Amino acid sequence: MVLAGPTGVGKTGLAVEAAERFGGEIVSADSMQVYLRLDIGTAKPTAGERARAPHHLIDLIEPDEPFDVAAFLALARPLIAELNRRGARVLVVGGTGFYLRSLMRGLFVGPGSDPAVRNRLLAEARASGLEALHARLARVDPVAAGRIHVNDRVRTLRALEVFELTGRPISEFQAEHGLAEAPYEALFIALGLPRAELLARIEARTRRMYEDGLIEEVRGLVENGFSPDLRPLQAIGYKQAVDFLEGRLSRAEAEAETVRQTARYAKRQLTWLRSQPRVTWHGPHPAGALFEAMARFWEA
């Protein structure tokens, strides 16, 4: 069972309720919740929610340790196999589309890497800024640029590296691969809300994050030696908190920019979900129809 949806739609609460109701265990497919110490800005399940249902693949590594989709798959697939062996009902929950797609349909590896090209691109990113490299990617591979956020340094550099090494857009390689592997029989549920309601939820959640101490969380990370340039600290919410701490934004501006960037991210998540095959859409409330669909799948 996969439960996906845009950020702020209410996946966590519904997943915990479903796990309680059906005796399930939750496997996180969230690229930020793997990090220790990053709690408020990642909207991790609370201690109370984790006590109500088993959670996996949360709080795995420090913010300065590398983690990518290959590492996620290396952990998620054996875990799901073990849960299935035990007869547990597995509920994969998250909004990181790349993780979900790779888990359900296989991982595209692509052409090899060239350290010289990668290091040159890294130097260009530092000198000219990531936006300039993303703009270059948009010129040579608009399909990939449309999928990759302007602040996603790793994927932007990888797409440019592939183009420089092969002369072909990475999106062409991905289309040829087709991500055809399908190792699981799964019900893929996506949660959706009217745009205005989702935006209101995002605004309320962002306000709670700042009230609950997002800035203090980031200040503590920096004071403990974690560079604000780390990839996790450049994620939405964390980047704006860093900008506040370094004097580039006021608190009100940081909060407003977090809302704006979160809403843009949610729109991209919805666009991706609508492009996926065999997705069943539900609203998060009332949850009766959603739980009925889960019961039919698990009890078939």
Q: What backbone torsions phi and psi does residue 196 show, to the nearest 5 degrees? A: -65, -40
Per residue in 79-107, pLDDT (tens digit) is 999 999 999 999 999 999 989 988 988 76
Interatomic CA distance for residues 286 and 274, integer angstroms: 21
Q: Domains in the chain, start-ordered, CATH in brackets?
A: 2-108+179-299 (3.40.50.300), 115-177 (1.10.20.140)
Nearest to 230, CA basis, from 158, 161, 151: 151
Chain centroid to CA 92 = 13
Q: What percentage of the chain reaches a pLDDT higher than 90? A: 77
Asked if 119 and 113 touch (Cβ cutoff 8 Å), the reply is: no
Res 181: pLDDT: 56
Asked if 66 and 35 touch (Cβ cutoff 8 Å), the reply is: no
In which residue ranges of the chain is pLDDT below 70? 107-110, 176-182
CB neighbour class for 78 (10 Å; exposed up to 12, middle 13-18, buried from 19): exposed
Q: What is the pTM of this model?
A: 0.79
Res 278: pLDDT: 87
Q: Which of 107-134 are b and which e, b meaning 16 or more Cβ less than 10 Å from the residue's Cβ?
A: bbebeeeeeeebeebeebbeeeebeebb
Res 176: pLDDT: 65
Chain centroid to CA 97 = 6
Interatomic CA distance for residues 173 and 278, integer angstroms: 23
Per residue in 128-161, pLDDT (tens digit) is 999 999 999 999 999 989 888 788 888 899 899 9
Other beta carbons within 10 angstroms of residue 76's beta carbon come to 20
Asked if 97 and 70 touch (Cβ cutoff 8 Å), the reply is: no
Per residue in 210-236, pLDDT (tens digit) is 999 999 999 999 999 999 999 999 999
Res 105: pLDDT: 80
Q: Which residues is 189 bridged to in the sheet?
A: 3, 280
What's the length of the chain? 300
